[in-house]
């Protein structure tokens, strides 16, 4: 069965420092990987995805993510964090063999302090 793990419930970063939010996955078919962000009382906003090709994918708001097949990881990164990046981040996998639904991790709360 497909699954996603986000090992950190919370990540704290100072503004201007680089940030990393970790994600590992397990899927039987080809992994299609996604990151979403959620602000309080809002829906999920799409940030970026990995489908195929270059292992480093770039997305919205300066975020990027690195796909590592051998480590089954898809960590979200940003070179310089902003206070406005503070939110809940979800990693998800979409298995092409399972009807295309997304399976989400538990989420990581990112807190960026001035």
Partner 1 sequence: DTGVSQDPRHKITKRGQNVTFRCDPISEHNRLYWYRQTLGQGPEFLTYFQNEAQLEKSRLLSDRFSAERPKGSFSTLEIQRTEQGDSAMYLCASSSPDVQRSIYFGEGSWLTVV
Q: What is the contact surface with partner 1 in residues (CB under 8 A)?
A: 4, 32, 34, 36, 41-46, 49, 51-52, 90, 94-96, 99-107
Q: Which of 63, 57, 62 is nearest to 33 (CA)?
A: 57
Our CB check for partner 1 shows the closer of 15 and 49 to be: 49
Residues contacting residue 71 through CB under 8 Å, at least 6 positions apart:
24
Closest approach, Cβ 94 to partner 1, in A, equals 6
Our CB check for partner 1 shows the closer of 8 and 15 to be: 8
Beta bridge partners, 33, equal: 50, 93
Q: How far apart are CA 91 and CA 106, in angstroms?
A: 8
Q: How far apart are CA 26 and CA 35, in angstroms?
A: 15
Our CB check for partner 1 shows the closer of 100 and 114 to be: 100
Closest approach, Cβ 2 to partner 1, in A, equals 11
CA angle 12–81–60, rounded 5-degree value: 120
Closest approach, Cβ 97 to partner 1, in A, equals 9
Closest approach, Cβ 104 to partner 1, in A, equals 4
């Amino acid at each position: 069965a497909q699954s996603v793990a986000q090992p950190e419930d919370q990540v704290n970063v100072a503004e201007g420092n680089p940030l990393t939010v970790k994600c590992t996955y397990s899927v039987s078919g080809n992994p299609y990987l996604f990151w979403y962000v959620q602000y309080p009382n809002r829906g999920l906003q799409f940030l970026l995805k990995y489908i195929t090709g270059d292992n480093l994918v770039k997305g919205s708001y300066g975020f990027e993510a690195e796909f590592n097949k051998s480590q089954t990881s898809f960590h979200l990164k940003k070179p310089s964090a902003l206070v406005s990046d503070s939110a809940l981040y979800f990693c998800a996998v979409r298995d092409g063999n399972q009807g295309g639904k997304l399976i989400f991790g538990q989420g990581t709360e990112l807190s960026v302090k001035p």
